[in-house]
Amino acid sequence: MLVGLRVSPRAATRAPSSPEEALISPEESLQELAALAAAAGARVADASLQTRPRIDPATLVGSGKVEELKAKIHFHEATTVIFDRELTPTQQRNLEKALEVKVLDRTQLILDIFARRARTREGQLQVELAQLNYLLPRLTGHGAAMSRLGGGIGTRGPGETKLETDRRRIHQRIHAIERDLERVRGGRATQRRQRQAVPLATIALVGYTNAGKSTLFNRLTGAGVPADARMFATLDPTVRHIMLPSKRRALVSDTVGFIRNLPTTLVRAFRATLEEVVEAELLLHVVDASSPEAAHHTSHVLATLNEIGAAETPRILVLNKSDLLGGAPDTAALARRILGDPQHQPAAYAAISAATGAGFEELLQKIDNVLALDPVSPAVFRFSAADGAPLHLLHEHARVTAIRYDENGCEVRAMVPVSLKRRLRPYLAATPQEAGL
């Protein structure tokens, strides 16, 4: 069962807690909660929306609504009630005692989905860290079971309670995970430096969850990333290369989808993953253009990009699922409406269908146009027999036109990006003019 709350604007004195809350109605938020519940494998038996002048500090929705929920739980034989707001420890304890079923809030539901979807060691550590940070202030909600004295050698200090022991153990585990994630972050930084050392631009796919990023990623790169209609189908970032129309190669990374009110514990835990977005040279902001909530989703993604420090990164607005719009829509007007700026033309946008491949040539050309140029020029290099790594680098990222071997190694002529030529400067054998190129 799902439960939402509308605070009546006529009686409430509080302002919306976030811009997203002011934009998205409680009904739309409850529909999104139903999609999240389905993604977690739940079958929704009933959904109800309570209107109150203010939040009840004891039960969120008030005692009358709690009695109504008890009747619905009995009628549907429900085993779980999910609330579309974050519950305080007191509210969760009171609701579980009154309803006698498992009670979850929106944050716990998202954490559960992330725990189900994480496949790599990094992803699992990130989810566990978020879960522990969420659990720590809620230990007191477990009542008397947490107030017993701990037993066993080394499990407690003088007078230490079971609650204090649990807190200490959780703190120790959090510190251990953070150390592991710092090592992951260091490894990612090393991989990023290695990528930046070669002339490959980096592109990150961003967007609201279920906008079609993974389908687009598979279409661009031929990767086999799981792509379906479930929210948060992709958690662990994947990096692949693509060939642009100018014959330049670029790296594309698929990242976790954003969502309204993404728990701050998850944002902190997925810092290493979000750094892929921050460090990218170009963002493909994928939007489900067929969704009536496209403008709201876009507003939230832009706010999240600003929060993580990626607001100034060049972006292309990718209007995905354009095949579901019908006819030949005015894509410029659609882009302006989705961006919430009807007076100005977006800098770069493209209407595509990741499912059918429509519009891909235009998208690739726009990526080519927006990415910073790396001019290609002729050069001659001299490699010894021990210079296998730089020779491989040249073959990998330049167009080799001729190779001449002799007893001391080889001479290679190639059309080389300027950035790669700078990296291989110690091996330059002649200027283009001296080599007759």
CATH number at residue 72: 3.40.50.11060
Q: How many domains does the chain have?
A: 4
- The one-letter code for the residue type at 302 is L
Stretch among 12-21, 132-141, 343-352 having the lowest mean pLDDT: 12-21
Question: Where residue 401 falls among pLDDT bands split at 50, 70, 90?
Answer: very high
Q: Are residues 315 and 411 in the same domain?
A: no
Q: Are residues 219 and 305 in the same domain?
A: yes
Look at residue 412 in the predicted model and tell me its pLDDT: 94
Look at residue 270 in the predicted model and tell me its pLDDT: 63
**Residue 33 belongs to a domain:** yes
With 60 as the cut, is the pLDDT of residue 277 above it? yes
Query: Angle 26-39/106-117 helices, nearest 10 degrees?
Result: 30
Highest mean pLDDT among 139-143, 175-179, 340-344: 175-179
- CB-based burial of residue 183 (10 Å sphere; 0-12 exposed, 13-18 middle, 19+ buried)? exposed
| Helices (H), ranges, 233-348 | 264-269, 271-278, 294-307, 331-339
Nearest 5°: phi and psi at 153? -65, 130
With 90 as the cut, is the pLDDT of residue 331 above it? no
Nearest 5°: phi and psi at 332? -65, -45
For 249-269, the pLDDT digits (tens) are 888 888 777 777 666 666 665
Handedness of CA 28, 32, 33, 38 (dihedral sign): positive
Domain around 28: 2-113
Q: Are residues 131 and 167 in the same domain?
A: yes
DSSP state for residue 149 in the 8-state scheme: B
Contact 354, 386 (CB under 8 A): no
Look at residue 74 in the predicted model and tell me its pLDDT: 92
DSSP 382-430: EE-TT-HHHHHHHHHHSEEEEEEEETTEEEEEEEEEHHHHHHTGGGEEE
Handedness of CA 226, 231, 236, 238 (dihedral sign): positive
Q: Are residues 176 and 146 in the same domain?
A: yes
Tell me which H or E stretch contains 3: strand 2-7
Average pLDDT over residues 362-374: 84
Distances (CA, A) of 195 to 191, 201, 365, 397, 419: 6, 9, 23, 12, 12
Average pLDDT for the chain = 79
258 Cβ contact list (under 8 Å, min separation 6):
206, 207, 208, 209, 300, 301, 304
Look at residue 199 in the predicted model and tell me its pLDDT: 56
Q: Are residues 63 and 84 in the same domain?
A: yes
**Residue 437 belongs to a domain:** no
**Residue 191 belongs to a domain:** no
pTM of the model: 0.67
Looking at 320, 344, 370, the residue that finishes a domain is: 370
Look at residue 345 in the predicted model and tell me its pLDDT: 61
Q: Are residues 208 and 324 in the same domain?
A: yes
Q: Are residues 171 and 73 in the same domain?
A: no
Q: Are residues 109 and 127 in the same domain?
A: no
Phi/psi region, residue 232 (left: phi>0; alpha: psi -120 to 50; beta: rest), is left
Q: Are residues 83 and 174 in the same domain?
A: no
Look at residue 3 in the predicted model and tell me its pLDDT: 93
For 28-39, the pLDDT digits (tens) are 888 888 988 888
**Residue 189 belongs to a domain:** no
